Amino acid sequence: MPVLKNIAKLYTCRDEGSQKDIFPIEKAALVWNDGIIRWTGKENELPDEFSHEEFMDAEGGIVVPGFVDCHTHLAFGGWRSEEFEMRLKGKSYLQIAKEGGGILSTVKATREATEDELLNKSLLFLERMKRFGVTCIECKSGYGLTVQDELKQLHVYRRLKEISECTIKTTFLGAHTFPPEYTTNRRGYIDLIINDMLPQVAKENLADFCDVFVEESAFTPAEAREILEAGKKFGLIPKLHADQITASGGAELAAETGAISADHLEQVSETGIQRMAEAGVIAVSLPIASLYTQQPFLDCRQLIEAGVPVAVATDFNPGSAPSYDIHLAMLLGCNHGRLTPDECLKAVTIYAAKAIGADKELGSLESGKKADFLVLDVPDVSFWIYHHNGADFRYIFLKGEQIHP
């Protein structure tokens, strides 16, 4: 049974207290076997039963849980780098979408791609995300928008789960936007989602969550409510892309439908925040999307003060957030979202795990959870985010196996 010793600080990040409480243990040790954590505590309190085990030296580094990227659109065809330049010249994300770019251009490219092509591309992304210390991710469909192409994306994720050691949670996002065939027949597309897509997704057990993009350019709250309620009947837990570009009642709807999380929220209303706090909805901040779309950043502090737990994720996708650098998301979460570094660590570990229902199995360093942990060559969490240097990893462990270096 391996024992990691000589840890300057081990941040357990257990789900207690408030956002700022990450429960550091100084001069700690960590014991695991068969991919599961067996013990954490002060090194000088290591139980006798572990004292003759094989030791590893953390060389005075700090230990944190593996990062959880709780919001990605991992499988997609093509890229949209031309839109990056269009935005630099002053065109907005919405204008580009109205002119046929945006989500619909990725829909076209994703429909044209084969399942194997999408799988190979996703695998490459996932390998690189692991090098950023990500050990669990959430992946959404939403670039197919036909029964067949939504299933194709979800089949990619099912295969990814079989191949990868990472923990993967899956979200059905058939309601990402209206496909070109249905722009003048919104009712027809909603019926397709409810009567054809959802039953098939449930039958093949392809998703944990059902997500809807509530926005002027996508679905109204009433349409989203109908889809999320239908999803619930198939056992899919609601999630929402809410209040990103305009305040459209997304946060209120998340509370009303019992969503596990409401994501984006840059334009969230006071009432929306209050309702989320009462209903226990997790807020997911996606600051890389604000960076690339030149939109305001979510003020995470306002949510924390209202009693809403905040997670931070990348939103990795080819349009609004073409980077899977979770360290960048953390830096922006601090500098623009007003999170303290300690709060930000909780946002990418236990609260991110909660936002995708994975908190019973991972997200904190506690006995019985997956042995997903990172050894960082820095004095504390604050220094790590401040210096923003991906090279500071001493070790990365995924399910108890060393995957870096």
* Contact mark string toward ligand NIG, 54..83, x via CB under 6 A: -------------------x----------
Which residue lies nearer to ligand NIG by CB, 67 or 213?
A: 213
Which residue lies nearer to ligand NIG by CB, 46 or 268?
A: 268
> Residue 101 interacts with ligand NIG (CB under 6 A)?
no
- Going by the DSSP 8-state scheme, the letter that residue 397 receives in this structure is E
Among 7, 259, 289, 332, binds ligand NIG (CB under 6 A): 289
Q: Select the span of 99-107, 324-332, 364-372, 380-388 touching ligand NIG (CB under 6 A).
A: 99-107
> Residue 244 interacts with ligand NIG (CB under 6 A)?
yes
Shortest CB 84 distance to ligand NIG, Å? 11
The tokens 């960048």 sit on which residue?
Answer: 328
For 345, residues 6+ apart whose C-beta sits below 8 A from its C-beta are 11, 13, 22, 64, 381
Output the CA–CA distances (angstroms, integers) from residue 400 to 76, 129, 154, 243, in the order listed. 31, 18, 28, 39
> Residue 241 interacts with ligand NIG (CB under 6 A)?
yes
- Going by the DSSP 8-state scheme, the letter that residue 143 receives in this structure is S
* DSSP class per residue in 299-336: -HHHHHHTT--EEE---B-SSS-----HHHHHHHHHHT
For 195, residues 6+ apart whose C-beta sits below 8 A from its C-beta are none
- Please give the residues from 202 up to 231 whose contact with ligand NIG meets the rule CB under 6 A: 213
> Residue 315 interacts with ligand NIG (CB under 6 A)?
yes
* DSSP class per residue in 340-368: -HHHHHHHTTHHHHHHTT-TTTSSS--TT
In a 13 Å sphere around the CA of 360, the CA atoms on its Cβ side amount to: 1
Shortest CB 315 distance to Fe ion, Å? 4
Which residue lies nearer to ligand NIG by CB, 142 or 231?
A: 142
Query: d(Cα 254, Cα 285) in Å, to the nearest integer?
Result: 15
Which residue lies nearer to Fe ion by CB, 193 or 378?
A: 193
- Decide if 299 contacts 265 (C-beta within 8 A): no
Among 61, 101, 133, 319, binds ligand NIG (CB under 6 A): 319
Shortest CB 48 distance to ligand NIG, Å? 51
Burial of 90 (0-12, 13-18, 19+ CB in 10 A): exposed
Among 102, 179, 250, 272, binds ligand NIG (CB under 6 A): 102
> Residue 12 interacts with ligand NIG (CB under 6 A)?
no
Helices (runs of H) and strands (runs of E) counted in the chain: 16, 16
Shortest CB 34 distance to ligand NIG, Å? 37
Q: Select the span of 34-42, 131-139, 312-320, 347-355 touching ligand NIG (CB under 6 A).
A: 312-320
Q: Which residues are at the interface with ligand NIG (CB under 6 A)? A: 73, 102-103, 106, 213, 241, 244, 289, 315, 317-321
